[in-house]
Amino acid sequence: MAIAQNLADFRASVVELNSHITYAHQRYRNNSFKIASNLREFISESAFLRIYIAWETFLETCFVDYLLNEVSVLNNRPAKWVNPIDKEHAQQIIIGNQRHMDWSNPETVRKISSIFFHQGYIFNTSLGSINNDLMDLKTIRNSAAHVSSTTTNKLDGLSTRVLGVPCNNYTAYRLLFSLDPRSTVPNQTVLDRYLQIIDIAAEQIANG
């Protein structure tokens, strides 16, 4: 089952990339880090970016597979309004006259899901319920991918809102590995909370 494999691949990627983050945060017995801070941040932010790419890939592959009549993990199929002949054709239909499809924007994905599937199928409801979190994740992704005054200001604003304290000159690393005051799980970082959220969404999408 293609959809089930998509979910398995996504989760395997997250596990592997989390192992890189764990490696970067190894400590000696005296509790000091084994890896220098700049390298630790580089490894961790790079792993985060790869996780984000894995999420985008999961969305795209599931969207395409559902257009090609693949069944969900729970053996469901969506009602759809297009019938592509293969994956390449499905991707061409999705892109249309755009340069590319922005799978990082949940609002864009929900919009096209409502065009191609009856009531947007599971994409509309699943992504809609975590829309704000996904937009926040995109802000962090942009900051990790390219530093500019715009991304810095947006990240500082997001960090202030998430952590509940004034934040200046924050980095993606600093925010991601802060303890999340919104979490009901003890000692859960901002990154771990977001990973929990998108894993639940991925399972919902795979289940159909």
The tens digit of pLDDT for each residue in 9-55 reads: 999 999 999 999 999 999 999 999 999 999 999 999 999 999 999 99
Residue type, 109: V
Residue 200 confidence class, pLDDT cut points 50, 70, 90:
very high
**Confidence tier at 98 by pLDDT (50, 70, 90):** confident
pTM: 0.94
State the chain's mean pLDDT as an integer. 95
What is the per-residue pLDDT for 111? 95
Longest Cα separation, the chain: 61
The stretch 114-135 carries a mean pLDDT of 96
Query: Tokens representing 156?
Result: 């500082």
Question: What pLDDT, on a 0 to 100 scale, did the predictor assign at position 97?
Answer: 76
**Number of domains the chain is built from:** 1
Calculated CA dihedral for residues 13, 130, 115, 203, nearest 10 degrees: 40
Q: How confident is the model at residue 150 (pLDDT cuts 50, 70, 90)?
A: confident
Res. 152 pLDDT band, cuts 50 70 90: confident
Amino acid 69: pLDDT: 95
For residue 144, the number of C-alpha atoms closer than 13 Å in the C-beta half-sphere is 24
- Show the domain range for 66: 2-207
Per-residue tokens: 37 = 């801070």
Report the pLDDT value the prediction gives residue 146, as an integer from 0 to 100.
Answer: 83
